[in-house]
Amino acid sequence: MGALHAGHSSLINIAAQRCTEVVVSIFVNPLQFENPDDLAKYPRQIEKDIELAKQAGATNVWTPSLEEIYPNEPEIISAGKIGNTFEGVHRFGHFDGVLTVVNRLFNLVKPEVAIFGEKDFQQLFLIKKLVKDSNLPIEIIAAPTIREIDGLAMSSRNIRLTEAERIAAGIISKALTSAAKESSLELQRDVLLSLLASEKQFALDYAEIIDEESYEIADSSSVNTRAIVAGWINGVRLLDNMVMRSQANKVGTR
């Protein structure tokens, strides 16, 4: 959606290594904003974005108009049950809007490969599900989260944080990395929640450990687990996630 940064560059780099033609679409999708103020405040810097995308390896930068993407009233794609959990609880209809625009972009561009970052892990999960359920001939590649020097996950919204708020936001990566060192789901959850609660500037929406295969809350049968966190600092929404120790590695460890 624009306001590109090093995290986006990493996605473009991956695409350029795989493909001779790399299309970067820049479109601020109104369907995925439940708050009109958030849509209005979303940073737009199209000239800088085009330059960054080309430097990262894009052969085509496409900046479609609203009418090109939605020439008619769009048929909304439901994100289903999973789309109404976690992020979906706090951003009603967000993932319906994401899937609707991604499906539209897929239909227009017809890519062989599409790269999405792990930072928006629920989005990534739902896009993979969309491709599978719709039997689309597209390979979805998950790219690792790119972080600032202080550990904060890169986001277009980070520029709205003051210096003091950036320091406070560091509690998110600190909580995730500390939880990842623990040996059980119970300890991971305890450490995650207690550290996040220690930063008064951070207003928590949710913090949980999920099963990566189902996006359900992880339990003792889960093999691949991931902690997910979302919340606010002074009106700026921040989210992050991190792989936790696998169940196989937890046996006999502390």
Segments of the chain scoring below 70 in pLDDT: 246-254
Angle, alpha carbons 77-81-84 (nearest 5°): 85
Please state the separation of Cα 75 from the chain's center in Å. 23
* pLDDT for residue 55: 97
User: In terms of DSSP bridges, do strands 23-25 and 139-143 run parallel, antiparallel, or are they unpaired?
Assistant: unpaired
Report the candidate in 195, 190, 203, 182 with the shortest Cα–Cα distance to residue 247. Answer: 182
* pLDDT for residue 247: 55
Q: Is 8 a catalytic residue?
A: yes
Domains of the chain as residue ranges with CATH: 6-143 (3.40.50.620), 160-244 (3.30.1300.10)
* pLDDT for residue 87: 94
Tokens read off for 41 = 């405040």
Report the candidate in 11, 222, 211, 214 with the shortest Cα–Cα distance to residue 118. Answer: 11
Catalytic residue among 5, 8, 90, 94: 8
Report the candidate in 152, 227, 223, 215 with the shortest Cα–Cα distance to residue 190. Answer: 227
- pTM across the whole model: 0.92
* pLDDT for residue 251: 47
* pLDDT for residue 157: 86
* pLDDT for residue 246: 65
